[in-house]
Amino acid sequence: MHVSLIQVPYTMGDERPGTSKGPERLVQAGAEKLVAAKGVAVTVERVDRGEPFRDSASASLAVGKRLAPVVRRAIEAGQFPFVLAGGCDVSKGILSGFDHGQCGVVWFDAHGDFNTPETTTSGYFDGMSLAVITGHCYRNYWAQIGNSAPVPESATLLLGVRDLDPAEREHLDHSAVQVELV
């Protein structure tokens, strides 16, 4: 097996928030060596936004468009793409990089990220990431990145969630997403 560690040092396309530093810190702390110690070949690649930061929506879109072909190339080369990211918004770029029609999603997060423009109390786009990839909102936005086929709710598992907005909780309760609350 060959693993491609793909660093995406952004949160909503922005390199300034602390969470965007996580991917690089994991590599600096020895993520590559840890995988290689198991007898697995490893390469490390970094995704660059490729343009100046203007706003979160356009920057996140730019990162997703750069990430999708990196994931696609790794898969075509027989590598397992292991994406180290600073935010949930990269999920669209990951899924756009391959035919995910027969895949499911295991979403580890303290937040549900299942808000839509109608259910959010904050308007925070990253908090809609799981809703986007399951087809509940921003379909045209995701389509600009690549393959935007929604992941079926029934093939989605949300683990570790402990912080849900009231309308988001109701939305999840009426969905087929499997949820394990903390």
Mean of the pLDDT values across residues 63-68? 98
What pLDDT is recorded for position 182? 76
In angstroms, the CA 61 to CA 149 distance is 17
Mean of the pLDDT values across residues 120-135? 95
Q: Is the pLDDT of residue 181 over 90?
A: no
Are 171 and 114 within 8 A, CB to CB?
A: yes
In angstroms, the CA 133 to CA 91 distance is 8
Tell me the pLDDT tens digit for each residue of 93-105. 999 999 999 999 9
Q: Is the pLDDT of residue 89 over 80?
A: yes
In angstroms, the CA 117 to CA 119 distance is 6
Each domain of the chain, given as residue ranges in start order, spans: 1-98, 104-182
Average pLDDT, the chain: 96
